[in-house]
Amino acid sequence: MPEGHTIHRLAADHRDRFGGRPVRASSPQGKFADGAALVDGQVLDGAEAHGKHLFLDFGATGWIHVHLGLFGKYAHGPGTAPPAGDTVRLRMTGPGGWADLRGPTACELITDAEKSAIHDRLGPDPLRADDDGERAWARISRSRTTVAALLMDQKIVAGVGNVYRAEVLFRHGVDPYRTGRELRRAEWDAVWDDLVALMREGVRANRIDTVRPEHTPEAMGRPPRVDDHGGEVYVYRRAGQPCLVCGTEVRTADLGNRNLFWCPRCQSR
């Protein structure tokens, strides 16, 4: 489920649900038992996200660093937690409710220095207020790598995943196989600004919607489509379906072991 918007949303959810008060922490599955024990009873001072990394601030005790990876999921709610089962890596509870973490790639207690090292290897994040696209452009504009690959590289831009990659390139008519150095400055600026807007909306709605009102199936006089991943999108996982804008079949290809989706007509050189 996770691209950057999910993680920023989780940070806000943690602040709202647990912030400023002691939490109970445990690891029903056992793999984070030591870390959970250290944090148990401590006050959650804050939560922040950088790209797809979540950091829970426990002051002098350190930070819990969570990365959901491809399979990780959070479930949370008010009141009493449901039965944990044997896959909950981390359970936090407090007066505001509960949160269960399953299947993460990373769930570890880290120091300030270790946290800094993570920030240092991440590029600017469209969802972090102080970040901008300059550092990303400096690398993109020199690169012979495809724009599609560059957008997924967390050292270049933090937080973009397979859905936002496909969708933002579609929205700007950029052929995913163009190289970074073939991208014009104005195109990158527009892509970055759009990522900021799309991902902010993603945090708000807690899903990825990218289709402009004038391109919805209804507005285009086409039959309605159903997305199986919760948002309304142009090309992501729509291989073989007609492009919402031009009707050409959406294409897919393997790029670096991930599925790429694009419209060969709307996104031509």
Partner DNA sequence: GGCCCATGTTCAT
Partner DNA sequence: TGAACCTGGGCCT
Comparing C-alpha atoms, which of 128, 183, 117 is closest to residue 160?
128
Tokens of 243: 């492009």
Nearer to DNA, 5 or 44 (CB): 5
Residue 52 in the binding site for DNA (CB under 7 A): yes
Residue 143 in the binding site for DNA (CB under 7 A): no
Half-sphere exposure of 225 (CA within 13 A, CB side): 24
Residue with tokens 């991943």: 229
Nearer to DNA, 34 or 219 (CB): 34
Length of the chain (residues): 269
The footprint of DNA on this chain (CB under 7 A) covers a number of residues equal to: 34
Quick one: which of 59, 105, 197, 218 contacts DNA (CB under 7 A)?
Answer: 105
Q: Is 52 an active-site residue?
A: yes
Amino acid residing at 16 = D
Quick one: which of 15, 24, 73, 172 contacts DNA (CB under 7 A)?
Answer: 73
Give me the catalytic one of 3, 89, 124, 238: 3
Q: Is 258 an active-site residue?
A: yes
**Which residue stretch of 8-16, 20-28, 100-108, 174-182 sits at the interface with DNA (rule: CB under 7 A)?**
100-108
Quick one: which of 145, 237, 242, 249 contacts DNA (CB under 7 A)?
Answer: 237
Going from the C-alpha of 70 to that of each of 16, 21, 111, the distances in angstroms are: 25, 31, 25
- In angstroms, the CA 59 to CA 125 distance is 24
Nearer to DNA, 44 or 168 (CB): 168
Q: How far is the CB of 59 from DNA (least distance, A)?
A: 25
Residue 6 in the binding site for DNA (CB under 7 A): yes
For the chain, how far is it from start to end, CA to CA, in angstroms?
Answer: 31
Q: What are phi and psi of 181, to 5 degrees?
A: -75, -15
Spatial CB neighbours of 172, under 8 Å, sequence gap ≥ 6: 187, 190, 191, 194
**Which residue stretch of 18-26, 34-42, 71-79, 137-145 sits at the interface with DNA (rule: CB under 7 A)?**
71-79
Quick one: which of 35, 161, 176, 180 contacts DNA (CB under 7 A)?
Answer: 161
Residue 230 in the binding site for DNA (CB under 7 A): yes
Catalytic positions, please? 2-3, 52, 258
